[in-house]
Structure 1
Amino acid sequence: MKSVVALSALSMLAGAEAAETVLGAYIFHRHGDRTPKALAPTNLTALGYEQVYTSGQYYRSRYLSGESKIHGINEDEVKLSQLQVQAPVDNVLQNSAMGFLQGLYPPVQTVQTLANGQSVQAPMDGYQLIPVNTIETGSGSEDNGWLQDASSCQNAKTSSNSYFDSEAYKSLASSSKDFYSSIVPSMNGVVSDEQVSFKNAYVVYDTIHVAEIHNSSIPNSEALTNTTLTQLRTLADAHEWGLAYNASDNMRAVAGMQLAGEILEYMNNIISTSGSKKFGIQFGAYATFMSFFGLADLQKVSDDFTGVVDYASSMVFELFTNADVDSGFPNGDDLQVRFLFHNGTASNTSEPSVFPLFGGSENAVSWTTFQDKLNEFAITTTEQWCTKCGNTAGSCAAFVKDNGATTAQQSGNGSSDMSPAVGGVIGAFVTLAVVLGSLAVLMLVGGFRLVSKKALQRGVPQSSVEPKA
């Protein structure tokens, strides 16, 4: 009887899964293997290219052709309106995005016949041209050693800098001095000896990590035992987590706030277009992962979420429904969101796992809950970013408050206020009136008078004005 009940339950579960439809997805992806930050400019390596390409192949099998295929998405030939791909202005991240896309949408051989009967074959076996749009967030992040170097948010930098005054930082900096001194010979002069310390924990780890992957020999290699390498990684994790997130001062997690806003924007586009938008992909740095993990309370699920993610790691937000989609796009009450994460390159033999968001226990949340929770910390507008960051220059100048009113409010935004064009005309007349008035006073006080051209021709002194006798 028990086995019958179990089989019945499995059948019901299979039926429930079969009824599920993925309506869209948003991926945030780290770049592949690269050269070390300490030897900038960094470059994507052949290994890194292979990692992101493999990841693209996996997500192709998941969302374009597999059981979790996004409803209505083009499987073989890309339809650009269904896809949004973004990366900062950064060689490693841009190239990683392009490598990923080659795996996601491989070449499709096409032949086009022209009006004159000539046949034209697509070059490079039909390589599909997919644009990677640039975003400001994280520009140049792979050439910078400090986590906040790629951020222009002043308050985020101040918040991260406060970590260096914390007891947690001071304690680790003091206790690890001898350990870092033993690593100095292995750095081979890539950074100065005094910089090999906990203050530069990530740069030190990154340099050794890249050397372990690519260098056939490393100075002082006998000191780089598995225990030493693990300690380097653990110290780097603690250092970067301290800079990326703090529960009592989450302003340093601005990268995660911006990502949350971008996720919400794209998910809302999927819904508002009734599924015309389908797949959002963004490439970025490990700092954004860590910031978002902290904001979404993923550290409560596992301590692994407090570490630096490996190359080609990815996190995914799936928008899905159990409602019937044949009759139209489901309403908001029938939508759910699921979070998946994979540390390192995803593949068909090593797939992403599902994790609960926001400190909960459920593997999926309603769209309403997801939206409300993200809105608690998401940055969705330029004005909001400027206000949180305390920035006042550039694009933020328009939002600077003066005497309780924004610049926009002061310039007038009500129906009774005059337009700039009308204001300009009135201003010109006022200026002219002031000039004429000043001239009249000058003539009155100085005894000057106006003389016509004819008077000048009759022998009046060559001046348009002359003093009285």
Structure 2
Amino acid sequence: MRDPAASFLAVLALIVPGSSAQATNTKVERVWSSVSWVHYGDRTPFVSATNPATLTPLGAHRLLNQGGAVRDRYLWRTRVGPDENGDDIAPIAGISRNAIDNSQLNILSTTDSYVVGSALAFLQGLYPPVTQAFPNATGGIEAASLSNGTVMNYPLGGYQYPNVRTFSRANDPDSIWLQGHAHCPEYLHSMLYPANDSYAASINEANLDFYRGLYNRTFKGAFALSSTNFFNAYNLYDYANYHYTHKNNNNDDDDDDDDNNSLGLDMGEMLRLRALASVEQRWRNGNLTVSGSTPGDRIRAISGRTLAAKVMSFFMDNIRSGGQVSKLNLVFTSFEPFLAFFSLAGLTAGPSYQLFNPLPYPGATMLFELFSLHDEDDSSFPGMANLSVRFLYRNGTEEGSRFRVYSIFDNVVAYPDMSFSQFAKYMEGVGVATVRDWCRICDSAAFFCAAADGNGNGGWGSGNDGGGGRGLFGEGRRGGLSPTAAGAVGAVVTLAVTGLVLLVTMLVGGLRFHKAAGAKRGSFFGGGFKGPEKKEDDADVEYAKGGVRHERTGSWELRDGVKKSSGPGLSVNTVGASESVRPVSPVSPVSPASVTGVGATVIARDLAHPAKQADDDNLSVYGQEPVRPREF
């Protein structure tokens, strides 16, 4: 006998178009693109005998684990939903899951060895060694096969080779998207005289006795007494945390241990050092009330503004290609962009402020996901109106920690996902759209600022985008070169014209230059930039242990000793309600395991790490009058 219910559904399907599809099709989620912003791993401190700083084995292992966590979310499965451990998985549509296909990825890093090393360790966890897997983008099985029938795997058990792109902060305009604060004069100037800021000064005064009490047993020999204060809180914590993690012998009964292997710090003191370092770095990178040369430019959060632009650039590339490129985008940087973006996105004052106010732990990762809801049998790329975005964060690499979704900007907590158009509106509101905009905001004299054309030379996080100067959806943007950049352009043009005239004169008129008899060695022609002081065997550029040393007669950092105000202090909402101007207590909650196992990262090295620099253009103590630089 035929089932009456089945007969009813069959008749319903005939008289109501689409009812059958509605009864059988379900909505599924597809992730099209992800931006993973990764804080580098545990490293040696900047103030140490190890120069330059290097990634530690602990740091490499933890970045390997973090790469594995991202693999579990994006590559391991093909269906969305929780896995057997209850963790959410969100596989990226169409991505190569076992063999790395660099055409689908963007992997960006600064040139610092500990950052590049972190990227490589992370990629080992994301795409571990594999045999008998050859992506078509690299030639597939044909490239691995020999004429005698042998199929060769890559060395080291099928080690995979990621294409990690590094950007020099000094020479590459694309470097600003990774670390917008580096080589930004206005950012550095806003912090030249921190003692003039009443908020920072009150924090320093309230905690000065704590720092001085640690000096003889912890910091003596590594830091000057005058720099053992709140204004150097991060460097002090960075140094102490490394020794606490790697050289702590407090529990060792051997009385013969070298005192240098134990700083004598207990956990409460370490927590307080970390809390103070967190307050200091939020003051430097998350204070939205301070302006540079333009009122309201939020100069202290400049690295978060460039981060916002780069995230939008990746998503727009993915959308324009119909989901074919920029599927997984990995950016490896220091912590400044994290703190700046947390502040810009309202995370430091939100319900989870206790997570976003302290310094990120090494390996901490932000995820921005572009996704949509589809009928199960529909694999086409959706229209922009059907795209959504969510933000996830995992602070550190500890076992058991998970990527969790958090609401950003003004989005309500109950609905952390937002439409792409809404996300784009917020990101464009805080972002720096072009290289030219960054050059203007920072008042930078970098050579690529002088080379930026009138159209902006790259829009929305792309230094080589042919549509320079455009807004998010192609709107025109106005604004000329800054006076500094315009002057540099004029100088370049003048030199080019002069050289051209001289060349023509030599070719047509027979003009020649001759060294006069009896002229001293090293005179102008043939003397290099040292002029008459140069000997024939001198090199034009000297190389020191840390890199190139440049001859200089001054620098923009000093600005002839003219002071600039650091702007108003932070409000309670900006800093976070967990800390005040009284002596800072340990941040709660912080587990002992998370303190003993991790370190922190680097602040703007051009100003804050004079011990690492050969040139004393950089100020060694905040608040002092500038000094003339030592010449070589």
Aligned counterpart, 1:335: 387
The aligned amino acid for 1:211 is H
1:245 CA displacement = 1.8
The answer to whether the 8 A contact 1:286-1:308 is kept is yes
Partner of 1:258: 306
What's 2:186 paired with?
A: 155
**In structure 2, the residue corresponding to 1:217 is in which secondary structure?**
coil
Shift of 1:247: 1.9
Question: What residue is the counterpart of 2:567 in the other structure?
Answer: none
Distance in 1, matches of 2:337 and 2:169, equals 10
Question: 1:160 touches 1:242 (CA, 8 Å); kept in 2?
Answer: no
Note if 1:170 corresponds to 2:185: no
* 2:418 corresponds to 1:365: yes
Partner of 1:81: 103
Q: Which residue of 2 aligns with 1:273?
A: 321
Q: Which residue of 2 is the match for residue 198 of structure 1? A: 230
In structure 2, stretches of 5+ residues that fail to align are 1-23, 81-89, 133-140, 172-178, 251-258, 291-297, 453-479, 509-632
Q: CA 1:149/1:367 → structure 2, altered by over 3 Å: closer, same or farther?
A: closer
Shift of 1:137: 5.3
Match of 2:9 in 1: none
Q: Which residue of structure 2 lines up, in the alignment, with residue 385 of structure 1? A: 438
Distance in structure 2 (CA, Å) of the matches to 1:138 and 1:280: 23
In structure 1, how many angstroms separate the alpha carbons of the residues matched to 2:482 and 2:211? 50
Q: Give 1:119 shift.
A: 4.5
Q: Secondary structure at the match of 2:430?
A: coil
Contact 2:31 2:372 in 1 (8 A): yes
User: Cα offset for 1:360?
Assistant: 2.5
Which residue in the other structure is 2:128 paired with? 106
Distance 1:134 1:394, change over 3 A: same
Change in Cα spacing, 1:167 to 1:130, as seen in structure 2 (3 Å) is: same
**Distance in 2 between the 1:190 and 1:222 partners?**
12
C-alpha distance in structure 1 between counterparts of 2:27 and 2:46, whole Å = 46
In 2, the alpha carbon distance for the partners of 1:157 and 1:406 equals 22
The answer as to whether partners of 1:290 and 1:308 remain within 8 angstroms in 2 is yes
Supply the AA of the counterpart residue of 1:266.
F
| Matches of 1:299 and 1:215, distance apart in 2 | 33
CA change 1:378–1:222 in 2 (3 A) is closer
SS of corresponding position for 2:192: helix
8 Å CA contact 2:63–2:122 kept in 1: the answer is yes
- Whole-angstrom CA distance in 1 between matches of 2:55 and 2:434: 32
Distance 1:359 1:29, change over 3 A: same
Check 1:188–1:248 CA distance in 2 against 1; reply closer, same or farther (3 A cut).
Answer: closer
Q: CA deviation at 1:117?
A: 3.7
The answer on 1:124 being equivalent to 2:143 is no
Alignment of 1:208-247 (within 5 A): 208-217=240-249, 219=259, 224-247=265-288
Q: What is the alpha-carbon root mean square deviation over aligned residues?
A: 3.4
The alignment status of 1:356 with 2:356, answered yes or no, reads: no
Deviates more, 1:84-93 or 1:28-37: 28-37
CA contact (8 A) 1:37 1:207 kept: yes
CA distance in 2, matches of 1:149, 1:28: 14
Q: Indicate if the aligned counterparts of 1:401 and 1:407 stay in contact, CA closer than 8 A.
A: no
- Structure 1's 160 and 336: CA in aligned 2 closer, same or farther, altered over 3 A? farther
User: Between the two proteins, what is the percent identity of the paired residues?
Assistant: 30
1:160–1:244 CA contact under 8 A, matched in 2:
no
Deviation at 1:17, TM superposition (A): 9.9
1:377 to partner: Cα distance = 2.0
Name the structure where helix makes up a greater proportion of residues. 1
Q: Is the aligned partner of 1:300 residue 2:300?
A: no
Cα contact 2:109–2:166 (8 A) shared by 1: yes
Matched with 2:212 is 181
**Who is 1:144 aligned against?**
none
AA aligned opposite 1:203: N
Cross-structure match for 1:283? 332
* Count of matched residue positions in the alignment of Structure 1 and Structure 2: 399
Distance, in Å, in 2 between the alignment partners of 1:332 and 1:266 is: 15
Query: Which region of structure 1 is more displaced relative to structure 2, 368-377 or 160-169?
Result: 160-169
Q: Which residue of 2 aligns with 1:44?
A: 55
TM-score after normalising by structure 2: 0.58
- Cα deviation for residue 326 of structure 1 reads 2.2
Specify whether residues 117 and 321 from structure 1 end up closer, same or farther in structure 2 by C-alpha distance, changes over 3 A only: closer
* Preserved contact between residue 29 and residue 312 of structure 1 (Cα < 8 Å): yes
Cα pair distance change 1:316/1:202, threshold 3 Å: same
Letter of the 2:209 counterpart: D
- Whichever residue aligns with residue 235 of structure 2, its letter is V
Q: What letter matches 1:155 in structure 2?
A: E
Q: Quote how far apart the aligned CAs of 1:196 are.
A: 1.7
Question: Measured at CA, do residues 17 and 41 of structure 1 come closer, stay the same or move farther in structure 2, by a change above 3 Å?
Answer: farther
Give the structure with higher Rg (CA): 1
- Detail structure 1 runs of 4+ shifted over 6 Å in the superposition: 15-18, 405-411
Check 1:64–1:230 CA distance in 2 against 1; reply closer, same or farther (3 A cut). same
How far 1:224 moved relative to its partner?
2.4
In the alignment, residue 183 of structure 1 is paired with which amino acid?
A: L
Residues 257, 194 of structure 1: CA spacing in aligned structure 2 closer, same or farther, 3 A cutoff? same
Change (3 A) 1:407 1:108: same
- Give the TM-score normalised by the residue count of structure 1: 0.77
AA in 1 matched with 2:38: H
Aligned residues of 1:26 and 1:318 also touching (Cα < 8 A): yes
By how many angstroms is 1:33 displaced? 1.1
Q: How does 1:49-64 map to 2 (within 5 A)?
A: 49-64=60-75
Does structure 1 conserve the Cα–Cα contact (< 8 Å) formed by 2:248 and 2:263? no
Give the residue type in structure 1 aligned to 2:383. N
Distance 1:193 1:155 in 2: 29
The CA distance in 2 between the partners of 1:320 and 1:169, in whole Å, is 42
Q: Give, in whole Å, the separation in 1 of the partners of 2:66 and 2:202.
A: 39
Q: Distance in 1 between matches of 2:31 and 2:218?
A: 49
Cα deviation digits, residues 367-424 of structure 1 (max 9, x gap): 0111111111212321111111111341112457489x9689999xxxxxxxx99xx9
Amino acid aligned to 2:128 = P
Map of 1:31 onto structure 2: 40
Q: Residues 214 and 390 from structure 1, CA distance in 2 versus in 1: closer, same or farther, beyond 3 angstroms? A: same
